[in-house]
Amino acid sequence: MAETHSHAALDGQLRGGAPDDERYETDSAPAGVRPGDPELTADATLADPELAGPALLGDPAFAEDATVGELELADRQALRRVAGLSTELTDVTEVEYRRLRLERVVLVGVWTEGTLASAEQSLTELAALAETAGSQVLEGLIQRRGRPDPATYVGRGKVDELRDVVVDSGADTVVCDGELSPSQLRNLETRVKVKVIDRTALILDIFAQHAKSREGKAQVELAQLEYLIPRLRGWGESLSRQAGGRAGGASGGVGTRGPGETKLETDRRRIRQRVAKLRREIKAMRAARDTKRADRRRHDVPGVAIAGYTNAGKSSLLNRITGAGVLVEDALFATLDPTTRRARTGDGRIYTLSDTVGFVRHLPHQLVEAFRSTLEEVADADLVLHVVDGSDPDPEAQVAAVREVLAEIDAASRPELLAVNKVDAADPETLLRLRRIWPDAVFCSAHSGAGIDELRAAVEARLPRPPVPMLVRVPYDRGELINRAREHGEILAIEHTADGTVLRVRVDPMLAAELAPFALAEPAPAG
């Protein structure tokens, strides 16, 4: 992980709008809105996201009628220019050309709604994502607008300031806290003269770095290519080259002569072929996963899926409960490939715990679709153990973001148990507030072990009960049936007699059929 650097406060003034004769390419713009028109109510610069918070609420830079000082620029010769994202597809079967290796980055966000604190938190999270991808964050800027500019994301005056900041800091890359349209991406790169990426591309890059299994790599590549297809147009001079043109030729026949297939068309065709192949591979791997899931269902093994915000401590809790030894790393999206481990209740009943990929605000739709087969572990679970980072400044927003994704994968109706983790690092006042909001939640710490026994008991209490109640006397030479009843059922009472072991149990239908020869008649009720 890259070393964390402070994000220097920017003391700058918006420049005037671009000349009237300057025009931007846009994908779409609302009726009556000229692309690039500043819709600015207040401009702000963001101090260190590690420190930003309520102190900035009184900053005059965020006042509606604010005026700020002139930004002092370094010598323009300090600018280190980096070419924009390339569209040259030398081998479309390799997705490495899209894996971003960020170096020195400047962050920029548009604050359209909510509080200043929420806007700062979003940019702070973007900084953590950038550093997880291997970059050094230099600066962070926020612009307050009614909506992002359809041509350049931020207003034209802010683009000028952003360009000056890039020159002054020697940044290689600008990262925008939102998903850019293809034209916004091209217009920004044209103006700031360095590589520009958006939040979606950044998250895709982190997933590409962390995917380990064949299925995980295929899912990430599929998401990257789906993201790339609409962004091919107009990137680089290579797209103007022709592939197989026959202009003026006589052998093509009527209707076939002309410029031939453009490089853009070739790229799109090859990417779509690769996408189709990846979908087939993922579908085949999904069949294997479904087979394992069906086997667990056949034996009525309850399943618990651990879901939650990225870096909330899901893998640490899995290790605490099961002793699984799963990789634990203080990084965003450290777990991409699902891990399933067996656990036992206090009376010996077996159930499974599955660790899943972490969620994040504005999780790219391409990733949700690509990882749908993996996320079905959550949708198919008997219980969703929703892990919340109690030390986060805004745990409620994390929960809302996770539940939004759960709804997208049709898992919102699954039984849910909230586990507020990291209580040893949380603010006491925050914990008091969360206890009032979520009275049924379990508060625990995977690090210190506090509340883990309570969490185990809460999970066990919410597991589905086996459907078939029975009273049986099992001969002593059939002890394996007692072990199976303990592992796959619920033993309510046990008594050892001269003729065998009498059990009052609840078991699944398959085990009930094997126990049927030893069933006892229920005693008549007293009365």
pLDDT for residue 8: 37
The pTM is what?
Answer: 0.65
Confidence of residue 361 (pLDDT cuts 50, 70, 90): confident
Which tops the pLDDT comparison, 34 or 473? 473
pLDDT of 90 > 50? The answer is no
Contact 355, 384 (CB under 8 A): no
Summarize the confidence of residues 346-356 as an average pLDDT.
85
Confidence of residue 384 (pLDDT cuts 50, 70, 90): very high
The predicted-structure confidence for 293-315, as pLDDT tens digits, reads as follows 676 666 678 899 999 998 888 88
- In whole angstroms, give the CA distance from residue 9 to residue 103: 20
The predicted-structure confidence for 61-89, as pLDDT tens digits, reads as follows 334 443 333 333 333 222 222 223 222 33
- In whole angstroms, give the CA distance from residue 486 to residue 70: 74
Which tops the pLDDT comparison, 177 or 347? 177
Summarize the confidence of residues 423-445 as an average pLDDT.
96
pLDDT for residue 44: 39
The predicted-structure confidence for 260-274, as pLDDT tens digits, reads as follows 456 777 888 899 999
Q: What is the mean pLDDT of the chain?
A: 74
- Is CATH 3.30.420.40 correct for 40-70+78-208? no
Contact 46, 161 (CB under 8 A): no
pLDDT of 463 > 60? The answer is yes
Contact 188, 106 (CB under 8 A): no
Rounded to 10 degrees, the C-alpha dihedral 484/490/492/496 comes to: 10
CATH of domain 300-462: 3.40.50.300
Confidence of residue 174 (pLDDT cuts 50, 70, 90): very high
pLDDT of 210 > 60? The answer is yes
Confidence of residue 10 (pLDDT cuts 50, 70, 90): very low
> What are the structure tokens assigned to 370, written together?
């690509």
The predicted-structure confidence for 140-169, as pLDDT tens digits, reads as follows 999 998 899 999 999 888 899 999 999 999
